[in-house]
C-alpha cells in the first residue's frame, strides 16, 4: 500500500525569478546547462545547422558549445556568404542516404 506522505516535492512548476540562495542558483544553473546543451545538440543534428552557444555561470566562468567547431562557426558568422562547411554537408548527406 502506498504511503500518503511524500518525502520530496516532485516535479513542480516554479515561478521564473532569480533564485535567492546562491548554492541553489549554482545547482540549478548546472542542471539546466546540461539540458540546454542537449537541446542545442539535437537541433544541430536534426537540422544540420552550425551552432555556437556561449553562456557565463553566475560565478563568471564561460561555457560554450559549438558544432562543427568554434572556429568554423565564427568564420561563417563573420562572412555569412561563405558556403556551409564540409562537416555539416557530410552530416546532412549521411542523413539523406
Give the up-direction half-sphere exposure of residue 58: CA atoms within 13 A in the CB hemisphere.
14
Q: Is residue 5 part of a domain?
A: no
Q: For the chain, what is the domain count?
A: 1
In CATH, what number is assigned to the domain containing residue 64? Answer: 3.40.1810.10
State what percent of residues in the chain have pLDDT above 90: 45
pLDDT band per the 50, 70, 90 thresholds, residue 12: confident
Question: What range does the domain containing 48 cover?
Answer: 22-95
pLDDT digits (tens, 9 = 90+) for 45-82: 999 889 999 999 988 999 999 988 888 888 888 888 87
Which distant-in-sequence residues (6+ apart) come within 8 Å of 95 by Cβ?
48
Q: Is residue 15 part of a domain?
A: no
Q: Is residue 47 part of a domain?
A: yes
CA distance 30 to 92: 31
pTM value surpassing 0.75: no
Residue with cell 546540461: 34
Amino acid at each position: 500500500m502506498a504511503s500518503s506522505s511524500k518525502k520530496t516535492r516532485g516535479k513542480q512548476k516554479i515561478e521564473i525569478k532569480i533564485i535567492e540562495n546562491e548554492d541553489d542558483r549554482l545547482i540549478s544553473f548546472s542542471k539546466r546547462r546540461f539540458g540546454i546543451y542537449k537541446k542545442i545538440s539535437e537541433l544541430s543534428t536534426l537540422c544540420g545547422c552550425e551552432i555556437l552557444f556561449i553562456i557565463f555561470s553566475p560565478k563568471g566562468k564561460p561555457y560554450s558549445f559549438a558544432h562543427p567547431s568554434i572556429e568554423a562557426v565564427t568564420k561563417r558568422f563573420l562572412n555569412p556568404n561563405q558556403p556551409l562547411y564540409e562537416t555539416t554537408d557530410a552530416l546532412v548527406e549521411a542523413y539523406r542516404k
